[in-house]
Structure 1
Amino acid sequence: MTNQEETEVGKTIYLVLDMQNDLVHAEGPSGKGPLGAQVRERETLARTVRVLQKARAAGALVGFVRVGFSSHYQECPRHSPIFSGAPAASLFKLGEWGTEIHPDLEVRKEDLQIVKHRVSPFYSTTLEAQLRAQGVTRIVCSGVSTQAVVQATVRDAHDRDYEVVVLEDCCAAHSAQEHANSIESIRRFCRVETADSVSFD
C-alpha cells in the first residue's frame, strides 16, 4: 500500500487503556484486589502483549492511555466517587511507579502517550488532535476497567465518527459479571473481537 492509499483509507491505532501499575500490577493497590484477580484470571496482560506484537508487525500505530494527577492533585475531582480517594491513598501520582505502564507491555518512544484526569481519554486531552494528525480512522482498544475507560472510549470514539473495535479478552473489570455486562452494553457502538481474531492489515 502506498502512502497516498494509506491516507485515503485511514490508519488504525491500538489504544492500550489504563494498563498501569496502580491498576494491574500484582503489587499495585488494585492489583491486590478484585480487579487484579480478574486481570490474572483472564490473562489480560499476556493477551495484550500478543496484540501489541501483532499491531506493530502490521505497522499499526500504538498508543498508551493512563490516568494520572500532578503531585498536589490539582486536577483531581473532589466529588468523584472514582477519583476523590486518590489523594489520601497516593494513587495515580504522575512521575511515580503507580502511573507507569506495566513492565510486561513494551512502550516505545514513537508511541502516542495520553495522560487523562477523568474516565474518558478524550476529555481535556490531546488524544483527538493526535489521532487526526496521524490520519487515524479506526481504533482498536482494550484495557481496564471494562465498565469505566473501555466503555467511555468506545462511546466517545463512536460519537467522533471513528470505527471502534474492542478486544473482549484483553479487558477486565472488578468481576466477571461486570465485565460481561459492560461488553454487552457497548456492542451497539463497536465491533467486539478477540486477541486472536483481530487483524491490523
Structure 2
Amino acid sequence: MEIDNYKRKRAMKAAYLVLDLQNDLVHEDGPNGKGPLGEQVRSRDILANTSRAMAKARAAAVPIVFVRVGFSPDYRECSSTSPMFSGIRKAGLLKLGTWGTEIHPSLDKRDADVLVTKHRVSPFYGTSLEVLLRAWAVDRLILSGVSTSAVVQATVREAHDRDYTCTVLEDGCAAASAGEHAASIEILRRFAEVQTSDSLAF
C-alpha cells in the first residue's frame, strides 16, 4: 500500500505554495519578526527548511508559488470587521510597495516563480491562485509558511474541498507558540499528509 501511494503521488502534478513568509511577518527586523512568531520562525529554522524544500521543488521542475498578504496604500481592501486585520491600518503594516510585503530575502525568489497577493487569510479568496493551478493541471499541493493556525489551516481546508491532495511540511510552519503550532498540525492531519523538508519527495 505504501508503494502504491508513492507511485500515485509521483503521477500527480504538484506545486509548492510558500505562504506569507514576508518581511513584516518573519524578518527579524519586522514588527512580527521581533515578537513571538519571529522567535518561533528562528528557533524552528523555518527559512532554512523552506529553502531546502524549494531546492527539491526546483530540481523536480515543480512550480513555486509565493503567497503574500498586502494592501493598497489606502488599505481599500482591508476588512473593517476582521479582528485579525483591525490593527493593520493603524500600524501601517502589510502595505504593498514597501519592504514589509517583500518575500524574505533568504528565500531566493526567482523571476520564474509566481507571486500571488491576497487580502484575506485564504490565498484562494479573490486571487488568481486556483486559475493558475487549474491551468497547470496541478492536483497535489505542497505547502508551508506562517502561521500554522491561520494561512496554513485556511489553505489546506479550502484546497481539500477543491479536491487537491495536500502535503504540509511541518518543519516549514510556525505559529506564535510551539503549542499553537502543534495543535494546528494535529488538526491538519485530518485533511492533509504531514511531512518534513527532509522526507519530501516529488
Matched, 1:30 2:45: no
Give, in whole Å, the separation in 1 of the partners of 2:116 and 2:146. Answer: 15
Shift of the alpha carbon at 1:58? 1.1
Give, in whole Å, the separation in 2 of the partners of 1:90 and 1:164. Answer: 34
Superposition TM-score, scaled by structure 2 size: 0.94
The alignment-based identity, stated in percent, is 63
Question: In the alignment, what sits opposite 2:3?
Answer: none
1:65 aligned to which of 45, 64, 67: 67
List per-residue Cα deviations over 1:48-103 (Å, max 9, x = no partner). Answer: 11111111011111100000000000000012111111111111100100000000
Give, in whole Å, the separation in 1 of the partners of 2:30 and 2:199. Answer: 30
* SS of residue in 2 equivalent to 1:27: coil
Which amino acid in structure 2 is aligned with residue 176 of structure 1?
A
- Aligned 8 A contact 1:10 1:135 in 2: no
Question: In the alignment, what sits opposite 1:5?
Answer: none
Structure-to-structure mapping, 1:73-92, within 5 angstroms = 73-92=75-94
Q: Between 58-67 and 103-112, report the one with greater CA deviation.
A: 103-112
Question: In the alignment, what sits opposite 1:139?
Answer: 141
Which amino acid in structure 2 is aligned with residue 197 of structure 1?
S
* SS of residue in 2 equivalent to 1:136: coil
1:189 aligned to which of 188, 191, 195: 191
- Aligned 8 A contact 1:67 1:116 in 2: yes
Question: In the alignment, what sits opposite 1:55?
Answer: 57
List per-residue Cα deviations over 1:133-186 (Å, max 9, x = no partner). Answer: 011110000000000000000000000000000000110000000000000111
Which amino acid in structure 2 is aligned with residue 159 of structure 1?
D
Question: In the alignment, what sits opposite 1:93?
Answer: 95
* SS of residue in 2 equivalent to 1:128: helix
1:114 aligned to which of 113, 116, 120: 116
- Aligned 8 A contact 1:146 1:172 in 2: yes
Q: Between 110-119 and 21-30, report the one with greater CA deviation.
A: 110-119
Structure-to-structure mapping, 1:154-193, within 5 angstroms = 154-193=156-195
* SS of residue in 1 equivalent to 2:106: coil
The root-mean-square deviation of aligned C-alpha atoms, in Å, is 0.7
Which amino acid in structure 1 is aligned with residue 198 of structure 2?
D
Which amino acid in structure 2 is aligned with residue 73 of structure 1?
Y
Question: In the alignment, what sits opposite 1:4?
Answer: none
* SS of residue in 2 equivalent to 1:132: helix
Give, in whole Å, the separation in 1 of the partners of 2:114 and 2:129. Answer: 8
Shift of the alpha carbon at 1:47? 0.6
Moved over 3 A (4+): none
Tell me, which stretches of 5 or more residues in structure 1 are unaligned?
Answer: 1-8
Shift of the alpha carbon at 1:187? 0.6
Shift of the alpha carbon at 1:10? 4.1
Which amino acid in structure 1 is aligned with residue 133 of structure 2?
L
Which amino acid in structure 2 is aligned with residue 101 of structure 1?
I
